[in-house]
Structure 1
Amino acid sequence: MSPQAPILCVVGARPNFMKIAPIMRAFSSQGIPATLLHTGQHYDADMNDAFFRDLGIPQPDINLGVGSGSHAQQTAEIMRKVEPILDEQAPAAILVVGDVNSTIACALVASKKGVPVIHVEAGLRSRDRTMPEEINRVLTDQISDLLFTTERTALDNLKQEGIDPARVHFVGNVMIDTLHYNLRQAKPTAQTLAELGMETTLIGSDTPYGLLTLHRPSNVDDPAVLAPLVDCINQIAADLPLVFPVHPRTRSRLEAFGLLERLDPHRIICTPPLGYLELLGLMKSARIALTDSGGIQEETTALGIPCITLRHNTERPITVTEGTNTLVGNDPQRIIAALKAALKPTSRPERIPEYWDGNAAERIAAILKPWLSAGISGQNTAPHA
């Protein structure tokens, strides 16, 4: 295998885009050849184009166009379509990020074909096997040859699962690389709302507001859970107006359960899904975020914005132990209590986690360069970070 062969970098869903952007820049700056493959797991053309444009990601060299389906259908289709690509491209390695179906599908095919697997954002664990992402994380780490972690505790998780620490490198968080790189370009909230035709006197330049995102099945698939959450959201909005970019899955559930019209239109601004620069602008100016998203837990920690996470667990514990995040589940009373505590000026100290400094991708490239030059003989020759 030639060390000059490119690394095949895989993206499939919007969370991947934020992680791959700084990696592609770092590879380019350090002379590491790379090919970008988009599985098409998230297939909204407008949203994809917006993310690629906003984040400065080169257009994919290969697009599998997989589209939607059940977890099994989607994973199988990605595997079926990526196999001939690996045969044609003969990459030096395949690099996967995060925990979506594209990650495990491409890693599994590569591993069985003897192509080394590099996993960025390895070792994160929620301990909740009902989450499909947790299954993807655990299995991808088991078949990866090189694992890059965002926080030091991830190594403990990997060692407990029998993974050789020599394959693991703590480099920091590439999501935060993207945040730092784009912070000055983030769109002001008023501009975003105006461009959406949603000009409002509810939120002015200095008006405190909260950012709400909600999409996980545990929160939106059961009307017995979602209805009380809607009432809780209205209660919060009575004191603090909310901007709510509504995920397509969430919108369909709200409509199916007759709950969309229950959201207070005078205090809650419901928008379509937003591009990265729009969402970043909303986030950096928000007084608080309420979310069940993994990425927003990290980004609010980096920005110093209080975050209330509507989940019972998190695969990003450092956002709780060192950051601005509070886990509350989906019980309305706990949500309200946590919100009040988080809004107090001296509610808690926090600090930016180690290596969340905007340079994670450069560390990855610096470790990969000698690893690739050694011809990927099956041994990790890079120094342990």
Structure 2
Amino acid sequence: MTGWRSKVPRKICILTGSRADYSHLSPVIDAINLHPELLMQLIVTGQHVDKKYGSTWKNIKNDGYKITKKIDIRLDSDSPLATTQSMGRAVSLIAKNLCELDPDFLVLLGDRFETFSAGIAALVLNIPIAHIHGGEETEAAFDDAIRHALTKISHLHFCAARLYANRVRQMGENPKRIHLVGAPGLDQLSTINYLNAEQLSSKLKIELTNTIFVIGYHPVTLKPNDTKKSINALISALEEFNNTILVFTGVNSDPGNSSISKIIHEFVKLSPKNRIYINTMDKEKYLSLMKISKVVIGNSSAGLIEAPALGVPTVNIGDRQKGRITSSSVINCLEEKEEIFKAIKTAVSHEFQQKTIKSKNFEVGNASKKIAEILANEKIEGITIKSFHDLNWDKK
């Protein structure tokens, strides 16, 4: 880019590619919009602009946010080749738009492939990157490598927990630019207008009168040959529970998603009165549903971040989230029918429900305001030139 601006407001560009990262980014967007020294830019891409995934850019617009750029990277299919081709288009198109916007910082969250593409574009364009949720671990997904790669090409690090901040430090990052702020997605838990069961029933078009299970299952990208076996094991375990409302949330766009979606759709069709597949929900509906549910089941990060913070038990299946901090309300199990069944039985038992308390694994509250304040005050000049900060291995 052409040089750093000293004047205010600073232009902060946020990129979101799916409902998953958007739910964590929306409090950050609010904080940036409210900060007098920051100017918000919003790039929407990936699943948000794809009809197959519900065209969720409309939800963003309905939330009152101004979308600066909308970029279609064409998620043509769920094969590894098609995903790689989408990444290539994303690098090219996002780079073009970043040149037009000329932001002072690009804010990226997490570990999605479209996020990585944006990071590559910003790196070459010499745009400083601020990365949220670095240092975390998800062993069985290629997201893990993407997250760590994003750490190395980023210049500011906003971490959710001490362990994660320490890992970023281990990767040679400047300790002065590693900030322990907490999980910004949790900021909204105390401000959202929660819907009750009757209101949700009306909006989701299903009677939420019985025990509710919320299920979110995504491809385990480093174990592609196990996908059908694993989702079928989950379905078989769920069949053992009667008088239960099963709410499946949308599958993400990772390679292998179509086979998972197909199996879930077929299962839902067998009993539409108590089973539903919802491709996308806004944050109000999703968090309200989670709050009144008996258990969250699957392999989504929501089961390890939002659900524990709401005091809702989680059955975390398989290795997709292996390595993340877990609370006492999370039951980990193998991707086998009997193991899943036993874990769900435990989670919904009166004893387990009674002892489940709201998790305090992350600092809750004001993470987004902290991020905005640091973005407004961090010295920019020379920030893209990084030294490797070694650990003192000889220190006792």
TM-score, normalised to structure 2, is 0.82
The verdict on how the C-alpha distance between 1:263 and 1:248 changes in structure 2, with shifts beyond 3 A counting, is: farther
1:106 is aligned to 2:118: yes
CA distance in 2, matches of 1:228, 1:6: 48
- 1:78 — aligned with what? 90
Shift of 1:88: 2.3
Q: How far, CA to CA, are the matches of 1:267 and 1:330 in structure 2?
A: 27
Instruction: Write the mapping of 1:146-225 to structure 2, written as runs, cut at 5 A.
Output: 146-182=156-192, 184=193, 186-198=194-206, 200=207, 203-204=208-209, 207-217=210-220, 222-225=227-230
Task: Return the alpha-carbon distance in structure 2 between the equivalents of residues 238 and 143 of structure 1.
Answer: 49
Distance 2:346 2:383 in 1: 51
1:210/1:288 contact within 8 Å kept: yes
Contact 2:218–2:260 (CA<8 Å) still a contact in 1? Answer: no
1:143-170, Cα deviation, whole Å (9 max, x unpaired): 1100101111102322332323222111
Write the deviation string for residues 221-264 of structure 1: whole angstroms up to 9, x where unpaired.
Answer: 743333332211101x2264422345487995268669825875
Does the 8 A contact of 2:227 with 2:260 survive in 1?
A: no
- What are the superposed Cα offsets for residues 77-118 of structure 1, whole Å, 9 maximum, x if unpaired? 111012222222221121111211221111111112211111
**Counterpart Cα distance in 2 of 1:304 and 1:210:** 14
Q: What is the CA distance between 1:369 and its match in structure 2?
A: 1.8
Structure 1 residues 266 and 145: CA distance shift in structure 2, 3 A: closer
Matched residue, 1:238: 242
Equivalences for residues 186-335 of structure 1 within 5 A? 186-198=194-206, 200=207, 203-204=208-209, 207-217=210-220, 222-235=227-240, 237-238=241-242, 240-245=244-249, 247=251, 252-253=258-259, 260-261=266-267, 265=271, 268-276=274-282, 277-314=284-321, 317-318=324-325, 320=326, 322-335=327-340
Match of 1:133 among 133, 143, 148: 143
1:18 aligns with one of 23, 27, 33: 23
Q: 1:364 to 1:310 in 2, by over 3 A?
A: same
Select which of 334, 343, 346 maps to 1:338: 343
In angstroms, what is the RMSD of aligned CA positions?
2.9
Task: Verify the 8 A CA contact 2:265 2:277 in the aligned structure 1.
Answer: no
Contact 1:150 1:173 in 2 (8 A): yes
Shift in alpha-carbon separation, 1:23–1:246, aligned structure 2, 3 A: closer
1:122–1:137 Cα contact (<8 Å) kept: yes
Q: What secondary structure is seen at the aligned counterpart in 2 of 1:122? A: coil
Corresponding pairs, count:
365
Q: Secondary structure of the residue that 1:67 maps to in structure 2?
A: coil
Distance in 2 between the 1:376 and 1:176 partners? Answer: 32
**Greater shift in the superposed pair: 117-126 or 62-71:** 62-71
Task: State which drifts further: 328-337 or 165-174.
Answer: 328-337
Q: CA deviation at 1:181?
A: 2.8
Which of 69, 72, 75 is equivalent to 1:65? 72
Note closer, same or farther for the CA distance 1:238–1:325 as it changes in structure 2 (3 Å cut): same
Q: Is the 8 A contact 2:44 2:69 kept in 1?
A: yes
Identity %: 19
In 2, distance between residues paired with 1:178 and 1:316? 25
- The one-letter code of the counterpart of 2:296 is A
Q: 1:155 to 1:216 in 2, by over 3 A?
A: same
Q: Distance in 1 between matches of 2:313 and 2:269?
A: 23
Query: What is the identity, as a one-letter code, of the residue corresponding to 1:164?
Result: N
Aligned to 1:383: none
- The alpha-carbon distance between structure 1 residues 138 and 275, as it changes in their structure 2 partners (threshold 3 A), is same
| Structure 1 residues 227 and 87: CA distance shift in structure 2, 3 A | closer
Report the residue type matching 1:213 in the other structure. Answer: G
Conserved? CA contact 2:268–2:275, under 8 Å: no
Residue 35 (structure 1) aligns with? 41
Q: Counterpart in 1 of 2:393?
A: none
2:234 and 2:340 in contact (8 A); partners too: no
| Structure-2 change in CA distance of 1:378 and 1:49 (3 Å) | closer
Secondary structure, aligned partner of 2:49: coil
Q: Where in structure 2 are the equivalents of 1:45-60 lying within 5 Å?
A: 46-53=54-61, 56-60=63-67
Q: Deviations over 1:351-379 (max 9, x none)?
A: 532554231100111222211xx343328
- Quote how far apart the aligned CAs of 1:2 are: 0.3
Structure 1 moving runs of 4+ over 6 Å: 248-251
**Separation in 2 of the partners of 1:288 and 1:164?**
40
CA–CA distance in structure 1, aligned partners of residues 261 and 29 of structure 2: 39
Once the two structures are overlaid, the 10-residue window that deviates more, 84-93 or 257-266, is 257-266
Measured in 1, the distance between the counterparts of 2:276 and 2:356 equals 32
* TM-score (norm. length: structure 1): 0.84
Give the C-alpha shift of residue 220 in structure 1.
9.8
Separation in structure 2 between the aligned mates of residue 316 and residue 40 of structure 1, nearest angstrom: 26
Does the 8 A contact of 2:235 with 2:267 survive in 1?
no
Aligned counterpart in structure 2 of residue 368 of structure 1, from 375, 378, 387? 375
Distance 2:219 2:198 in 1: 28
- Per-residue CA deviations over 1:297-317 (Å, capped at 9, x if unaligned) read 211111000000112252663
SS at 1:42 equivalent: helix
